[in-house]
Amino acid sequence: MKQGELVYAGKAKSLYRTDVPGQLYVHFRDDITAFDGGKKDVLSRKGNLNARVSAKIFSLLEEHGIPTHFVRMEGDAAMIVRDLRMIPLEVIVRNIAAGSITRNYPVPEGTAFDPPVIVIDYKDDARHDPMLNDDIIVTALRLLSRDQLAEVKALALRVNAVLQRFLAGVGITLVDFKLEFGWDGDRIVVGDEISMDSMRLWDTATGTSLDKDVYRFGKGDVLAVYREVAARALPGGEQK
């Protein structure tokens, strides 16, 4: 597969065309950023860790009948994905209160949500990803119909159930995570990445962070915790 022209470079990934129509090459770079790009670093092998955990999770979702853009892992820190028409939403599923919900509302950190809370933000860095509601999505921005929005939320909850069970099996509590969706023809599928950059993970035994919060809040060696998640999620593959 030939890596073609650069289509788009985000904060931590670059997308390239390939010689296969409808398929893109996603390179997970070693860049890490937080606070709208206000904090930035380069961490050697971080792209590899996130690409491999993401690939594992996408494969797991596909096994459970949840459609994603994932085709295959390619090389060390890249994957081949189907080219989607992305929907500019960040769909966040929260099982436990942490992060922005505890800053914006009187909800103590650690509060369990049953059913999970779904929050949807508008993906727009310049506007700092403002939170949306159903009417803004459907009527004002016309991003989805009501039925399509219901489908996105149902898919997000199915992803949550699969991920929660998988991570619990390796001693990790899934606190919350962010998904992005796109159109694959007339089908809505899960796109982007699902990694330690986009999930909030706590070690079930100790409650310590195993995700980008370690970087955001200077809580320790972020590469060491990313390696720890990879070692648990990809048994035998952590040294790759």
Segment (H or E) for 70: strand 70-74
Query: Considering the rule CB under 6 A, would residue 199 count as an interface residue with ligand 5GP?
Result: yes
CA dist., res. 201 & res. 163, Å (int): 11
CA dist., res. 21 & res. 211, Å (int): 35
Query: 219 — alpha (psi -120 to 50), left (phi > 0) or beta?
Result: alpha
Site string for ligand 5GP, 51-90 (x = CB under 6 A): ---------------------------------------x
Which positions from 123 through 162 interact with ligand 5GP, judged by CB under 6 A? 129
Binding segment for ligand 5GP (CB under 6 A), chosen from 17-25, 46-54, 92-100, 160-168, is: 92-100
Question: Looking up tokens 């792209």, which residue turns up?
Answer: 47
Closer by beta carbon to ligand 5GP, 17 or else 153: 153
Closer by beta carbon to ligand 5GP, 74 or else 90: 90
- Among 13, 29, 56, 178, contact with ligand 5GP (rule: CB under 6 A): 178
CA dist., res. 228 & res. 147, Å (int): 39
SS3 label, residue 5? strand
Q: In the complex, which residues of this chain contact ligand 5GP (CB under 6 A)? A: 90, 92, 99-100, 129, 176-178, 197-200, 212
